Amino acid sequence: MGNYLNVGNAGFTAVRKGIYVDKTGMISFINSTLGTTDKMTCVSRPRRFGKSFAAKMLCAYYDKSCNSRELFEDLEIAGDESFEKYLNKYNVIYLDITLFISRAANIKDVVKNINNEVMNEVAENFPGAPRNADLAEVLVYAARTSGEKFIMIIDEWDALFREAKNDSSLQREYINFLRGLFKSSWTDIIFDAAYITGILPIKKYGTQSAMTDFREYTMLTPKRLAEYVGFTEAEVQALCRKSGMDFDQMRKWYDGYSFSRVKSVYSPNSVIEAVKNGEFHNYWTQSETYASLQLYIDMNEDGLKESIVQMLGGARIKIDVVTFQNDMTTIRGRDDVLTLLVHLGYLAYDSESRTVHIPNEEIREEFVRAVTTGKHTEIARLIRSSDQLLEATLNKDEDAVAAAIQEAHKAGTAPTFYNNEQALRSVIRVAYISCVDEFLKIDELPSGHGYADVVFFPKKASSMPLLLVELKWNKTEKGAIAQIKNRDYPQILKDYGGDILLVGINYDAKTKQHTCRIEEYTKD
């Protein structure tokens, strides 16, 4: 076994010894692409979303230098008709680009080092192979003389774009090296498959991918690989049953990513850590500091601040993901920042509505931590005042509530979005950010005679009252309360056994003032 050629199955053996969720169905998908025009696969995922585990799994399955039958015979892939056909049948080249970067005396030497070190190892295993050549030349010789094609697996393929994000010359050298392997007349001679994985999709130049022959599966469009992005709901439920963990809490903390094929995907590393430790916690900070998030949300892009505020309040923000150039430096506006945050795992993207949102409690904590220590002091002040607003609501301090919502309106709404009813509902989401911890928020809850604008349901084990909020525009706060009673909104909550507070809020567009009325609902 070598350092790069046929590295064996030790990596996946270690994975199987821990808490393991069976993701070997992906092998069946890769098997279906072997030797076809779809044989080039690029999978991009955030950190700690199982990219390296998948790469090690593929190495163990295909590598001809080892016997991996026992590792797979109790897993899903063993029941697939392609299992025996390709098990341990290939020469596999495995490259971890972060390893090359960490070992290089100068990062500018990384591409040269990859070429030379891998080329020399392959040449040693295929007598007569040319020396002092480029890797592609050695591989085409090896494939022709042996009559066997290779599979190449590259983990963290985009690490150079992240570590040398301002060195365009090095980036182009690297892309040209990869093109020499995967986009030449020799590619079909050398490879039956290539699998590369990283955080970012393949770099764009204008509107075109730098390596157009790769089929990409990203956090925006994972397509047929959606169930392998993270853990599915069924997989998490099984882990919770086995470990005795509370599934509702697991969903609150780590769910929130969704795709057209799979509607509920969980952050896999965080779920595993929660099961290992027996408690729910923010495990994201163990793999990624909030400073990286803070760097991007502190950017002075038009509309970015307002979008962050709205998402902290639970809103979904419409964006255009097409302009993003798949790097960390070519940022041309708010949408590029938000798209980058999707790829980094800080936001979830809904391809049907083309919107982004903060997926779960773990990531919400990261946003709060980042904005309270960053440049957006008005957002930090808003978050700190939200606890006081909730306390004022519970104490029925109407003037304090109106004043706090007034401040939230100023902090969270762009001037062009100020005077309309949708803005007022958005402000309520933002002003009551603290409610995310103990309440489930529902917008426009239907009743027999209309809709309750915003309802905050206390979560399990919470002693809070239910808050039913009615909004008015250029009318009166008393009229809002009257509408609640006239439309008998609380009757739709008749099975709710706790206390209910009715909160009426009015905004006067002329004076730009908010007023508030709060009453306890007395059940008959």
At 505, which CATH number?
3.40.1350
Among 286, 306, 329, where does a domain finish?
286
Distances (CA, A) of 88 to 27, 61, 151, 470: 12, 6, 11, 64
Based on the fold, state whether residues 276 and 188 are members of the same structural domain: no
Based on the fold, state whether residues 232 and 139 are members of the same structural domain: no
The verdict on residue 487 lying in a domain is yes
Based on the fold, state whether residues 42 and 165 are members of the same structural domain: yes
The verdict on residue 2 lying in a domain is no
7 φ/ψ sector (left φ>0, alpha ψ -120 to 50, else beta): alpha
Q: What is the pLDDT of residues 277-314, one digit of tens each?
A: 999 988 876 655 556 787 887 787 788 887 887 788 77
Based on the fold, state whether residues 278 and 421 are members of the same structural domain: no
| β partners of residue 96 | 155
Based on the fold, state whether residues 206 and 241 are members of the same structural domain: no
Q: What is the pLDDT of residues 6-62, one digit of tens each?
A: 999 999 999 999 999 999 999 999 999 999 999 999 999 998 899 999 999 999 999
The confidence score (pLDDT) of residue 255 equals 95
Arithmetic mean of pLDDT, 429-439: 74
Q: Which amino acid is at 385?
A: S
Based on the fold, state whether residues 149 and 258 are members of the same structural domain: no
The confidence score (pLDDT) of residue 154 equals 97
Q: Is residue 447's pLDDT more than 80? A: no
Helix, strand, or coil (residue 13): helix
Based on the fold, state whether residues 242 and 188 are members of the same structural domain: no
Q: Is residue 439's pLDDT more than 90? A: no
Among 217, 249, 276, where does a domain finish?
217
193: pLDDT confidence band, cut at 50, 70 and 90?
Answer: very high
Please tell me which of 189-198, 447-456, 507-516 the model is most confident about, judged by mean pLDDT.
189-198
The confidence score (pLDDT) of residue 220 equals 95
The verdict on residue 365 lying in a domain is no
The verdict on residue 100 lying in a domain is yes
Based on the fold, state whether residues 507 and 456 are members of the same structural domain: yes
The verdict on residue 46 lying in a domain is yes
Q: What is the pLDDT of residues 65-119, one digit of tens each?
A: 999 999 999 999 999 999 999 999 999 999 999 999 999 999 999 999 999 999 9
Question: Mean pLDDT, the chain, as a whole number?
Answer: 87
Spatial CA neighbour of 453 closest among 495, 391, 494, 507? 507
Print the SS3 string covering 42-77. EEECCCCCCHHHHHHHHHHHHECCCCCHHHHCCCHH
Task: Supply φ then ψ for residue 149, to 5 degrees.
Answer: -90, 165
Please report, rounded to a whole number, the percentage of residues in the chain having pLDDT higher than 70.
89
What is the extent of the structural domain holding 16? 10-217
State the virtual CA torsion across 405, 411, 417, 422 in degrees, nearest 10.
-40
Find the radius of gyration of the CA atoms of the chain. 27
The verdict on residue 397 lying in a domain is no
The confidence score (pLDDT) of residue 150 equals 98
Return the CATH number at 201: 3.40.50
Based on the fold, state whether residues 64 and 150 are members of the same structural domain: yes
Based on the fold, state whether residues 66 and 202 are members of the same structural domain: yes
Q: What is the pLDDT of residues 383-423, one digit of tens each?
A: 777 778 888 999 999 999 998 888 777 765 544 455 556 66
Based on the fold, state whether residues 128 and 248 are members of the same structural domain: no
The confidence score (pLDDT) of residue 450 equals 47
Task: Tell me the pairing of strands 466-473 and 500-508.
Answer: parallel
Which residues does 164 contact at the CB level (< 8 Å), separation at least 6?
107, 170, 171
The verdict on residue 341 lying in a domain is no
Among 197, 217, 237, where does a domain finish?
217
Lowest mean pLDDT among 49-63, 163-177, 181-195: 163-177
Q: At 399, list the tokens.
A: 């003037």
The confidence score (pLDDT) of residue 419 equals 54
Q: What is the pLDDT of residues 340-394, one digit of tens each?
A: 999 999 999 999 999 999 999 899 888 888 877 766 676 777 777 777 888 899 9
The verdict on residue 378 lying in a domain is no
Based on the fold, state whether residues 243 and 201 are members of the same structural domain: no
| β partners of residue 477 | none
Higher local confidence (pLDDT), 443 or 498: 498
Overall number of domains in the chain: 3
Higher local confidence (pLDDT), 403 or 191: 191
pTM equals 0.84
